Amino acid sequence: MTAESKSKSGTHDKKRRGYSRRSRSEHPGVTIASEKRRDGSVVVVLRWSHPGTNRRCKETVKDASGLPVTSRERAKAAALAKSKELLGERKRVDEGKAPTDTDTTWEDLKARHTQHLEGKGRARKTIADYGQSWPHLLSWPRIPARPFKLKKADLEDFVLHLRRQRNKYTGAKWAGATVEAIVRHIKAILNYGRRSLACVRLDSESINDALDTGRRERLEPVAYTTQQLVDILEKAVELDETNEREKQVFPLLATFMLTGCRRGELERLRWFQTEPGKPESYVDFDGERLVIWSTKTHRHRHVPFRNRPVLRKLLACMSDETNVKKEPFVFGGTKSLAISDRRDDEEDAENGEEEAAEDDKPGRSLKQQILAVREKSGVPFKVKGLRSTLATYLANSNLGTNLYQVAYELGHDYAVLTKHYAQHRELPKEQADAETIEDLLCIAPVLNNWLKANQGDVGRVIPMKRAAGG
């Protein structure tokens, strides 16, 4: 076998990835690699797999003064120290494992897995999603008495069991995405039991094969046409006119279109900042921007009004009609908005939300209004589709200074933006050269008509009512 054929067959894969015999002896378990930053500088990073979870980790090597190291030779000491640290962690993980735990029950596995998620700092919603998948596993007729007795054929029957389930209201079979979500959670639970508790004797390959749902390839991102966006907003206006109590669906959908925010980000959007640096989203009229706290990346980002002038007027018009002290949330009112479900007081308290000022009312729920707009407009849109629509139009226009800036405003990774959104739609020249997002999406006339009806003068910008501490 030639050297070239050995390389193609994977014989030298480990060596190419840095796991040479010399590196294993000098800093076992840690790889030294060079990484180029966006500013053109090159730094040295350490890469390793976390003991117990096999999660890939990365760390920039810094010297005594806190500056990044640029030499591999200077990084060896840090790599050796990290190897010794990993060795101690592996020993602690191995000591906590039982060689063959046949007595662990499903309830024990459930409790230990929940503790594991909480220890890793996973979001409360993520833990709740896992909790919703557990009943499907425990109510499965063929579930063995102990996780240790689980067989591959049992898991294959579990997938068929899920596919036979029907919606108790409509009688229709569960959607493939629902089955996929449950299976994904159960797969993670069983792998945790196999790896950390040794109460599942199936290997990871058997678990993954048995729980294969035949997931479809990733679809192209959704991008609604400009006419569909106009239809959605026009029907939202009609719905708000017939609803004297909550005229919120038009401003909400318009803000989703113009900002491309995730659902949770706008659900908790406030009129003002409560504390400096607090993880929350709020309107910053003085700074001419929205400050968005990403519930996914756990970082702040800024969405400027500079290229969204009508959005600023729309929010200013809303604030003029709102007592921002008593209703600090832009769309939810007294509490954060619940687009899909109403949140109860106990859940809001866990989130650290403020209690309602008037009669302890729950936050608004606009689920029925959004479904009504979807039905009347004839556009089967989703909130997530409005986000991907803006990403597609921005990535293929000349409005953003560069794709890095577009990715930042949307809270996307640059690689995701270029791979899934750029070059997926060719825009007309006038639209591609638009100077505002309202013109890019061709929804400026609908927005201006709403402003004229609710504000009286399209060109007038109403100052926001300031609350104490706002």
- For residue 170, give the CATH number of its domain: 1.10.150
What would the pLDDT profile of 278-314 be if each residue is shown by its tens digit?
A: 888 999 998 899 999 887 777 889 999 988 899 999 9
pLDDT of residue 465: 37
Domain shared by 261 and 388, yes or no: yes
Is residue 463 a part of any domain in this protein? no
The span from the CA of 394 to the CA of 233, in Å, is 20
Domain shared by 425 and 339, yes or no: yes
3 state SS of 31: strand
The span from the CA of 434 to the CA of 191, in Å, is 50
Domain shared by 284 and 428, yes or no: yes
3 state SS of 166: strand
Place of tokens 């302890």: 360
pLDDT of residue 350: 40
pLDDT band at 10 (very low <50, low <70, confident <90, very high): very low
Tally of domains in the chain? 3
The span from the CA of 292 to the CA of 283, in Å, is 9
Q: Is residue 459 pLDDT above 60, yes or no? A: no
pLDDT of residue 410: 86
What would the pLDDT profile of 100-151 be if each residue is shown by its tens digit?
A: 567 888 999 999 999 988 888 888 888 888 988 989 988 888 898 889 888 8
pLDDT of residue 327: 85
Is residue 464 a part of any domain in this protein? no
The span from the CA of 35 to the CA of 281, in Å, is 33
Is residue 462 a part of any domain in this protein? no
266 alpha carbon, distance to own chain's centre:
13
Is residue 465 a part of any domain in this protein? no
Domain shared by 362 and 253, yes or no: yes
Q: Measure the CA angle with vertex 98, ends 93 and 103; round to 5°.
A: 140
Q: Is residue 3 pLDDT above 70, yes or no? A: no
Mean pLDDT confidence for 43-52: 79
7 alpha carbon, distance to own chain's centre:
38
Residue at which a domain ends, from 63, 95, 127: 95
pLDDT of residue 254: 92
Q: Is residue 470 pLDDT above 60, yes or no? A: no
Domain shared by 55 and 115, yes or no: no
Domain shared by 196 and 290, yes or no: no
Residue at which a domain ends, from 159, 175, 210: 210
Domain shared by 318 and 391, yes or no: yes
Residue at which a domain ends, from 186, 210, 234: 210
pLDDT of residue 100: 55
pLDDT band at 229 (very low <50, low <70, confident <90, very high): very high
Mean pLDDT confidence for 25-51: 79
Q: Measure the CA angle with vertex 295, ends 292 and 296; round to 5°.
A: 115
DSSP 184-222: HHHHHHHHHIIIII----S-HHHHHHHT---PPPPPPPP
pLDDT of residue 257: 92
What would the pLDDT profile of 179-223 be if each residue is shown by its tens digit?
A: 888 998 999 999 888 888 888 888 888 888 888 876 555 567 788
Is residue 298 a part of any domain in this protein? yes
Which residue type is seen at 451?
L
Is residue 220 a part of any domain in this protein? no
3 state SS of 343: coil
Is residue 380 a part of any domain in this protein? yes
Residue 9 belongs to domain spanning: 3-95
Domain shared by 265 and 361, yes or no: yes
Domain shared by 301 and 387, yes or no: yes
Domain shared by 334 and 435, yes or no: yes
Taking all residues of the chain, what is their mean pLDDT, rounded to a whole number?
A: 78
More confident residue, 314 or 364: 314
Q: Is residue 367 pLDDT above 60, yes or no? A: yes
Q: Are 31 and 18 in contact (CB under 8 A)?
A: yes
Mean pLDDT confidence for 48-57: 74
Mean pLDDT confidence for 226-236: 91
Q: Measure the CA angle with vertex 172, ends 372 and 135; round to 5°.
A: 100
In total, the chain counts a number of residues equal to 470
Domain shared by 244 and 164, yes or no: no
pLDDT band at 344 (very low <50, low <70, confident <90, very high): very low
Domain shared by 28 and 116, yes or no: no
Sign of CA dihedral 354, 359, 362, 364: negative
H or E, element range at 60: strand 56-60
Is residue 127 a part of any domain in this protein? yes
The span from the CA of 410 to the CA of 154, in Å, is 43
Mean pLDDT confidence for 441-446: 91
The span from the CA of 148 to the CA of 199, in Å, is 5
Place of tokens 């791979």: 419
**Considering all CA atoms of the chain, what is the largest pairwise distance in Å, rounded to the nearest integer?**
81
